[in-house]
Amino acid sequence: MAVGIFDSGLGGLTVLNAAQQRLPDVEFLYFADSAHAPYGVRDAEDIYQLTRKAVHELWDRGCNLVILACNTASAAALRRMQEEGVPEGKRVLGVFVPLIEALTERQWGDNSPPREVAVKHVALFATPATVSSRAFQRELAFRAIGVDVEAQACGGVVDAIEDGDMILAEALVRSHVDALKRKMPEPQAAILGCTHYPLMAETFQAALGSDVQVFSQGDLVAESLADYLQRHPNMLGDGAGGYLTTGKPGFVSDRATQFLRRQISFEAA
């Protein structure tokens, strides 16, 4: 019985790792669309078509529930997929929900009017596509008022991580944090709005300063998934777990093993 986890590349491994630790008895089928990564520089239609194809493959492989462990896909494709209709007995969920629940300290099902929250100044680090979609700001506005969000498009970071060039990734992160702080000198909280970015969490925290609360999605998504599966046990599909990629399995396996520090073996999708 497997839950599907989809990402444009390796970033979703941060979500997968947290989910495996939180739900050790659940099988996960991870799909990395490495051949088309990064998604963050693609247009919305392209992102939608690639995401839709991957999600349908995971459904076809027996995953009743698919998590879009990719903020760009969640921003550009999730709402459209849900509006166009999901097959009976299947679900696709994004990664914004648990993040906004944590930031606003209110449950997703709470449909009361937006209210003030403790955090007033939020830095959002995300891919260019996620930033341009304004999906995070839109969802946040449904639940909170008086929150100033300053977004920084972090070009190049995903490419460097996917290539395994962590020295370049660290330099780019510091540069993007500096650019953000020129626009918002004293953020109270920072959102790592791409599932690749937790791999650089220590660099983000160091550049931002210890007084800035950094929200990372892995643990938040894992806890939310555990709650969801407890309420919807039928969403555990009948497929097998594993690792799939549209890229070169050997290369992707090496990078994944490096990131998670345990042996990961991808197969061709």
Q: Which residues are catalytic?
A: 70, 194
Which pair of structure tokens corresponds to residue 221? 């998504």
Tell me the two tokens of residue 244.
Answer: 């799939």
Return the structure tokens found at 236.
């555990």
- Helix and strand tally (H, E) in the chain? 12, 12
The answer to whether 57 and 31 are in contact (CB under 8 A) is yes
Q: Are 210 and 231 in contact (CB under 8 A)?
A: no
Residues in the chain: 269
Nearest alpha-carbon partner for 95 in 235, 245, 241, 218:
218
CA gap 36, 21 in Å, rounded: 28
CA distance 73 to 47: 6
Q: In angstroms, how far is CA 2 from the centroid of its own chain?
A: 19
Contact predicate 191/122, CB 8 Å: yes
Beta-carbon contacts of 38 under 8 Å, excluding residues fewer than 6 positions away, are 8, 9, 72, 127, 158, 159, 162
Q: Are 221 and 69 in contact (CB under 8 A)?
A: yes
